Amino acid sequence: MKYPLLLATLPAALSTLNVAAEEVGCVTTAWKLIGANHKVCVQAFDDPKVQGVSCHISQAKTGGVAGAFGLAEDPSQFSIACRQVGPIVIKGKLPDQETAFSENTSVLFKETRVTRLFDRKRNTLVYMAVSRKLIDGAPANSLSTVPIMPWRE
């Protein structure tokens, strides 16, 4: 087989998580005469396995005609901030590394993925957003940490 690694990673690349992000809002960064404007959008999602942690991710969205029809590939430009928003309750066993959120950023094989890492020594959750392509990922990333601490109301 000529592309065994490509075929082995295809199911993972096509799978999506059941985590839905809520759009908070968008800010136009460049006006386009035809089609949608270029913009940066902010979305919020709650960690599906860690109750009490919410993340906000901002991401550049390509406009123009292709962007208006959802055919443009969004650039690998984003930022993430995660915070404790209530008592932290871990649902089940927490692995050292797991995908907490994933969203396609192009029609074919590009996604923004948020991976949760568990720093057991420091009792801290680490959320890293990266851009992934099926064949060629980008080194662009953003990081946020949430120390697991008691919640006082």
So where are the chain's domains? 4-147
Structure tokens at 98: 């797991």
> Range with the lowest mean pLDDT among 14-18, 69-73, 107-111, 131-135?
14-18
Dist. CA 51–CA 31, nearest whole Å: 39
Query: Cβ(115)–Cβ(63) under 8 Å?
Result: no
**Confidence class of residue 60 from pLDDT cuts 50, 70 and 90?**
confident
**Confidence class of residue 153 from pLDDT cuts 50, 70 and 90?**
confident
- pTM for the model stands at 0.75
pLDDT at position 113 over 90: no
Structure tokens at 37: 């404007």
The pLDDT value recorded for residue 6 is 33
Structure tokens at 43: 């979305």
